[in-house]
Amino acid sequence: MTYKGIVRGKVIELEGNVALPEGAEVEVMVKVSPDEALAPSGYPKGSPQAISAAVDVPARCSPEDVDALLEAIELGVRPASNRIA
């Protein structure tokens, strides 16, 4: 049987008068609307889960890349007296 429902937090509310027994095992298939694209993590783009998964991915740069970036930042810093307020 197939039932439709909506997610509210960690609860799935099923449509209609569905009486499943307590502890019944279910399988959930998530349908994503065409205008709701998925991130590489499989979560909807911009969702907290997608952002969390993206932050947990280690940077793909070498220590030399980091040194070059820090040097470029340092070279771009100007004395406070030359800054426009």
pLDDT of residue 58: 79
The answer to the question of residue 15 being in a domain is yes
The answer to the question of residue 34 being in a domain is yes
Mean pLDDT on 40-50: 83
The answer to the question of residue 59 being in a domain is yes
pLDDT tens-digit map of 46-81: 888 888 888 887 778 888 998 988 988 888 876 666
Q: How many domains does the chain divide into?
A: 1
The residue segments making up the domain with residue 13 are 5-77
Distance CA 22, CA 33 (A): 30
- Give the position of tokens 């993590």: 41
pLDDT of residue 34: 66
Mean pLDDT on 2-12: 87
Burial class (CB in 10 A: 0-12, 13-18, 19+), 44: middle
The answer to the question of residue 85 being in a domain is no
Query: Of 26, 36, 34, nearest to 4 (Cα)?
Result: 26
11-14 vs 5-8, strand pairing mode: antiparallel
Distance CA 15, CA 5 (A): 5
pLDDT tens-digit map of 18-32: 888 999 898 888 776
